Amino acid sequence: MRSHPSVLLFSVVLLAFQAASRFSVQAQTGQAAPAESAQTAGASYTPSAANLASRQAFQDSKFGLFIHWGVYSVLGDGEWVMNNKKMTIAEYERLPAQFNPTAFNAAEWVSLAKAAGMKYITITSKHHDGFAIFDSKTSDYDIADRTPYKKDVLKMLAEECRKQGIKLFFYHSHLDWHHPDYFPLGRTGHASGREAKGDWYRYLDTMDSQLRELCTNYGEIGGIWFDGWWDKPTADWRLDKTYKLIHDLQPKALIGNNHHRKPFPGEDFQMFEKDLPGGNTTGFSGESEIGTLPLETCETINKSWGYSKNDQSFKKDKELLHYLIRAAGHNANFLLNIGPMPDGKIQPEFVGQLKSMGEWLGKNGESIYGTRGGPVTPRPWGVTTQKGKKIYFHILDWQDTLLPMPKMPGIIRSAKFLKTGRKVDIIDTGAGLVFNLPKEAMDPIDTIVVLEM
């Protein structure tokens, strides 16, 4: 329907209108430039060529599966249950004997991630409760020594990921509510009933030793996703030593740390928890600042990270897809979480949600994978992504027929709706563009207009 005559009147072919300036985009690509090592990594860290290549591949991959799974899953009350319910170490230590995930099937998990269109998995090797779900020789507080299941689930997952071409990252908690050497305590874990003593540097040695295991026994890994630094922001975490260990053992692996600050030296990507880069809806990111590294944001499907039997507040397809699309427009990856059940099964609500995201990506993936944030910065109506000579306008929330846009850098060769291939009428006002979006061309999730430059 073309009710507005000016649309036709002024609708112009855009070829040759713009000066033939080379197509360039705004500097929000987050790519590793040579200057970056000086800006974010200090003199002590110059990422290797292999590491820089991994960063590019990481940014191309756009969508990952976050998995929170551990002995806390038994209680079905999230991964913070030990702290939140003021459980003592003695009480919590009864959980491993009940963790027997006989229904765990690595192939099913990895296939589900693939069906969702995800390219990597980040799983908790150890959360704040201190329990390792891998066979650790460093400690006996692990799946092999304390559970009836005994098997190393990370090993099975690593093998399956390799088979199916999915990268595997390990989430590893700095914070530890169980280890006797995690002392002095930080802001959390005060009800554990542990003795008020401990050798901090011995704790760090233990952590490094587990990280050495994770970087040695599971083949090539995608990287390490640290969390819990914020429990003791003023402590000497000896990050340089830990980061060097990881980079030496796994030159391609990427290190990220959810410390809610601007990246520290030695880190390779920056994450935001429950927020798009620059946002602070949760209060976690108040002291954060966007650096120049590849970006990632993580979010839950309901309100919980670890399995929660009472949490039915599932987000809808549209909300999660919009999060993925907006993340891409912010030049960030989206790491979407599930908390599998203690038996190793993934609840049907999560499975359904992931599959429907995969269906959408099956049709619209070219506007997400391999892209970087586009030339128009994120707006209330939506976002742009770009890849090569194509710019994708993701129109997520717009009720009117005409949508104004800034001038584009370069000559527009064609403008089409991605879904139908139909031409999009664009008015060039000289000061900018106006997209003509007929009602029948609008998609309830995302109307994608592709400009070929």
Q: How far is the CB of 245 from ligand H79 (least distance, A)?
A: 22
Rounded CA-CA distance 387/212 in Å is 37
Q: Name which of 202 and 261 has its Cβ closer to ligand H79.
A: 261
Rounded CA-CA distance 114/166 in Å is 8
Tokens standing for 253?
């692996």
Q: How far is the CB of 236 from ligand H79 (least distance, A)?
A: 19
Rounded CA-CA distance 290/296 in Å is 11
Kindly state whether residue 131 participates in binding ligand H79, applying the rule CB under 6 A. no
Q: Name which of 244 and 315 has its Cβ closer to ligand H79.
A: 315
Kindly state whether residue 229 participates in binding ligand H79, applying the rule CB under 6 A. no
Q: How far is the CB of 305 from ligand H79 (least distance, A)?
A: 4
Q: Name which of 255 and 412 has its Cβ closer to ligand H79.
A: 255
Rounded CA-CA distance 89/240 in Å is 31
Q: How far is the CB of 127 from ligand H79 (least distance, A)?
A: 6
Kindly state whether residue 273 participates in binding ligand H79, applying the rule CB under 6 A. yes
Q: How far is the CB of 64 from ligand H79 (least distance, A)?
A: 13
Residues within window 152-191 making contact with ligand H79, judged by CB under 6 A? 187-188
Q: Name which of 203 and 284 has its Cβ closer to ligand H79.
A: 284
Rounded CA-CA distance 77/309 in Å is 7
- Which residues are within 8 A (CB) of 116 and not within 5 positions of it... i.e. 6 or more apart? 63, 65, 336, 354, 355, 357, 358, 361
- Which residues are within 8 A (CB) of 136 and not within 5 positions of it... i.e. 6 or more apart? 142, 144, 210, 213
- Pairing of β 414-417 and β 402-405: unpaired
Q: Which residue is nearest to ligand H79 (CB)?
A: 187
Question: DSSP assignment of 425-444, as one string?
Answer: PEEE-SS-EEEE--GGG--S
Q: Name which of 160 and 273 has its Cβ closer to ligand H79.
A: 273
- Judged by CB under 6 A, the number of residues near ligand H79 is 11
Q: Name which of 68 and 394 has its Cβ closer to ligand H79.
A: 68
Q: Name which of 28 and 258 has its Cβ closer to ligand H79.
A: 258
Interface residue with ligand H79, options 77, 79, 160, 299 (CB under 6 A) = 79
Q: What are phi and psi of 64, to 5 degrees?
A: -135, 165
The secondary structure element, H or E, covering residue 42 is: none
Of the candidates 397, 393, 401, 394, the residue with the CA atom closest to the CA atom of residue 452: 393
Q: How far is the CB of 113 from ligand H79 (least distance, A)?
A: 17
Q: What are phi and psi of 311, to 5 degrees?
A: -95, 105
Interface residue with ligand H79, options 230, 269, 381, 417 (CB under 6 A) = 230
Q: Name which of 335 and 437 has its Cβ closer to ligand H79.
A: 335
Q: What are the residues binding ligand H79 (CB under 6 A)?
A: 68, 79-80, 187-188, 227, 230, 273, 284, 298, 305
